[in-house]
Amino acid sequence: MATLFRTNDLHITDEWIRAVPGTFAISEVRSAWSARKGVSRGSRLLTALLGVAAVLIIIGGAGMTGWLTRNWMWLLSAPLIFLAAAAIGLLDPVAIYLEKRHHDLWIATNSHAVKVWRNNEIEVNKALRAIHRAREHYVERFDV
């Protein structure tokens, strides 16, 4: 029995998965996947409306004060400034936020689907690969 993945809350071997919801034999696991909590339609619409409103307010304010007519070159150089900021790491806090979002690891057995674990995307994908490797080992051993 080889350990393929281990944390405090999740232990995956080539024979079983042990997590807070219970212990599941690899032979019982029919599929495994990861998912993020879905965002509702209303939430996406509100975010889009707030983003559009913010852009319109900024452009309108810049246009009304005359700044836009005097400094239109800044508008043309904005993409280059954005790329330079990304290259030197000024946008790293955004990437760190995106990495820390929670993803759920799910497995399905013959009888039901179970959320086994929740962590960031990188760790959940590591565990998911371990489950897939365990399933492959099981299939190879028993020619299922």
Q: Please write the tens of the pLDDT for every residue from 72-89.
A: 888 888 889 989 988 998
pLDDT greater than 70 at residue 116? yes
pTM value is 0.65
3-state SS class at 110: coil
- Lowest-confidence range among 34-38, 109-113, 133-137? 34-38
User: What's the pLDDT at 38?
Assistant: 65
Domains of the chain and any CATH numbers: 3-36+103-142 (2.30.29.30), 41-99 (no CATH)
Burial 10-22 (b: 16+ CB within 10 A, else e): bbbbbebbebeee
Which neighbouring-strand residues pair with 16?
25
Nearest alpha-carbon partner for 125 in 33, 37, 9: 33
Q: Whose CA is closest to 10, among 132, 91, 131? A: 131
Closest by CA position to 115, among listed 131, 130, 104: 104
Judge contact between 3 and 126, C-beta under 8 A: no
Q: Give how far Cα 36 sits from Cα of 17, 106, 121, Å.
A: 21, 11, 9
Residue 123 confidence (pLDDT): 93
Give percent above pLDDT 70 in the chain.
97
Task: Reply yes or no on whether the pLDDT at 133 is more than 90.
Answer: yes
The residue-averaged pLDDT of 18-29 equals 94
Average pLDDT over residues 32-39: 82
